[in-house]
């Protein structure tokens, strides 16, 4: 039997197992979403007793207390009508007969093999949703104890960013009500802080992933010297959702994209900008005597771990195909200059890039310039990789990298000045056309 026949037989076996799991699963019914309203509203800085370095058992005891002060919708950076709508700009979750679902199933099996390891323990702890786990993660990354009393500006900024991004997943979750892996397999919930009611909660997109990746993108602007470590930890938090079986891989990919779209939209909110500046000032004041580097001598930097591989094994190196974007003439518009900066930043990396990643970066920038058309612009940017013959995980890795590049560009004064100019031009003058996204 040659290799092709063996691969076909393996695929057939996997498909049969997947069908058996589906048939074995009892149908799940829709249940109301968790409330996002406060029983007693109060600013984050008044919350006490939330030590981010509590043990898992101690955090578990406080989980109900943490949940009861979730932010009310009208206090977030974006109103419901301002949130990018993932139902519009992302495709529906994959059908159970599709190749993408086959990959979802394989990743679910992979996650089960990771559970007995140290990485599996990390994934279980990262099933805790919200500001307390974010404070734990980024306290370690920043070398600060993030707490409402000691770092109120950073704490508040992370809280509002995370909750706003999470809320941007709700419409798609309720629309599709995709069944989660552990529920489809009729298993018990595995993550330490997950709860069984999740089996009646929509799986697509991943809210945990959106929370963590949005926090990472925002914190890149607070501590750019540590951007690679920040991004790695945010990415791992999403990957943990596959390991614990709470989400399919395609849910998690969607969560990263929802987060990047939400953060782009948040940049048009004055409170977001004010909180960002306060967090930056607080971080700089507390770390003024440090010499922080984004990479160390061993070359540790942001990567996308996937089946034990890093970004080098997912993306084409520079000796591969690279599509370069050029704009002729001196009288380029502000948007053209912004897009040129994004493509140049991609070219500086050691990875070749093609349309799926550079056009997702363009879409994020354009949606920030013209929020009235954000869903159409994001859809246009996403569609550029939808029909690609490249593997889905490679295309999604490119989009995730693109969102990281755009976050980093927001620390570039030239970029932010051009962005402000483009916003001023489009405000009240004309609507941005999705067809003008590509040159």
What Cα–Cα distance (Å) separates residue 14 from each residue in 9, 96, 107, 241, 365?
A: 9, 12, 12, 22, 40
Distance, in Å, from the CA atom of 145 to the CA atom of 46, rounded to the nearest integer, reads: 17
If you ran DSSP here, which 8-state letter would residue 306 be given?
B
Helix axes 392-409, 334-348, angle to 10 degrees: 120
Question: Is 247 an annotated catalytic residue?
Answer: yes
Could you write out the DSSP letters of every residue in 125-173?
HTTS-SHHHHHHHHHHHHTS---TTTSHHHHHHHHHHHHHHHHTTHHHH
Q: Which of 251, 357, 375, 393 is catalytic?
A: 251
If one counts every other C-beta atom within 10 angstroms of the C-beta of residue 65, the result is: 11
- Partners of residue 317 on adjacent β-strands: 351
Distance, in Å, from the CA atom of 402 to the CA atom of 400, rounded to the nearest integer, reads: 5
Question: Is 251 an annotated catalytic residue?
Answer: yes
**Helix, strand, coil fractions of the chain, as percent rounded to 5:** 60, 0, 35
Distance, in Å, from the CA atom of 247 to the CA atom of 243, rounded to the nearest integer, reads: 8
**What are the counts of helices (DSSP H) followed by strands (DSSP E) for the chain?**
19, 0
Question: Is 208 an annotated catalytic residue?
Answer: yes
Q: Which of 247, 275, 399, 410 is catalytic?
A: 247
Q: Which of 184, 199, 241, 380 is catalytic?
A: 241
What is the residue whose two structure tokens read 């990262």?
A: 126
Q: Which two tokens stand for residue 5?
A: 């026949």
Q: Which of 208, 232, 267, 410 is catalytic?
A: 208
Contacts of 8 (CB under 8 A, 6+ apart): none
Buried b (16+ CB within 10 A) or exposed e, 207-228: bbbbbbbbbbbbbbbbbbbbbb
Distance, in Å, from the CA atom of 137 to the CA atom of 123, rounded to the nearest integer, reads: 12
What is the residue whose two structure tokens read 């109120």?
A: 152
For the annotated catalytic residues, the residue numbers are 208, 241, 247, 251
């Amino acid at each position: 039997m040659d290799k092709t026949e063996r691969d076909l037989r393996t695929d057939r076996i996997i498909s049969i197992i997947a069908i058996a799991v589906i048939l074995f699963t009892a149908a799940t019914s829709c249940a109301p979403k968790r409330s996002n309203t406060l029983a007693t509203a109060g600013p984050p800085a008044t919350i006490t007793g939330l030590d981010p370095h509590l043990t898992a058992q101690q955090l578990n005891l406080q989980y109900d207390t943490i949940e009861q002060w979730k932010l009310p919708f009208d206090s977030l950076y974006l109103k419901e009508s301002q949130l990018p709508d993932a139902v519009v700009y992302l495709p529906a979750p994959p059908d159970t007969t599709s190749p993408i679902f086959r990959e979802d199933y394989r990743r679910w099996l992979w996650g089960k093999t990771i559970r007995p390891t140290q990485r599996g323990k990390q994934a279980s702890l990262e099933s805790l949703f919200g500001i307390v786990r974010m404070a734990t993660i980024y306290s370690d990354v920043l070398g600060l104890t993030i707490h409402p009393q000691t770092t109120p500006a950073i704490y508040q900024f992370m809280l509002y960013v995370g909750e706003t991004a999470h809320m941007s997943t709700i419409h798609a979750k309720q629309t599709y009500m995709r069944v989660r892996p552990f529920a489809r397999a009729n298993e018990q919930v595995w993550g330490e802080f997950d709860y069984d009611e999740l089996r009646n909660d929509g799986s697509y997109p991943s809210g945990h992933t959106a929370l963590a990746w949005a926090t990472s993108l925002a914190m890149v602007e607070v501590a750019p010297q540590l951007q690679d470590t920040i991004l790695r930890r945010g990415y791992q938090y999403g990957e943990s959702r596959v390991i614990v079986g709470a989400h399919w891989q395609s849910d998690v990919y969607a969560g990263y994209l929802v987060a990047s779209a939400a953060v782009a939209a948040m940049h048009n909110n004055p409170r977001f900008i004010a909180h960002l500046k306060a967090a930056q000032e607080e971080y700089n004041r507390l770390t003024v005597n440090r010499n922080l580097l984004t990479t160390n001598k061993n070359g540790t930097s942001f990567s996308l771990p996937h089946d034990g591989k890093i970004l080098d094994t997912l993306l084409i190196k520079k000796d591969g195909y690279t599509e370069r974007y050029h704009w002729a003439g001196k009288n380029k518009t502000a948007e053209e200059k912004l897009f040129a900066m994004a493509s140049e930043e991609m070219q500086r990396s050691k990875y070749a890039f093609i349309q799926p990643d550079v056009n997702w970066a363009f879409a994020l920038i354009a949606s920030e310039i013209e929020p009235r058309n954000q869903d159409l612009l994001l859809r246009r940017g996403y569609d550029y990789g939808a029909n690609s013959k490249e593997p889905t995980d490679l295309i999604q890795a490119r989009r995730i990298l693109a969102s990281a590049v755009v976050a980093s560009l927001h620390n570039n004064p030239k970029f932010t000045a051009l962005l402000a100019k483009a916003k001023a031009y489009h405000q009240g003058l004309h609507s941005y056309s999705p067809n003008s996204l590509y040159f």
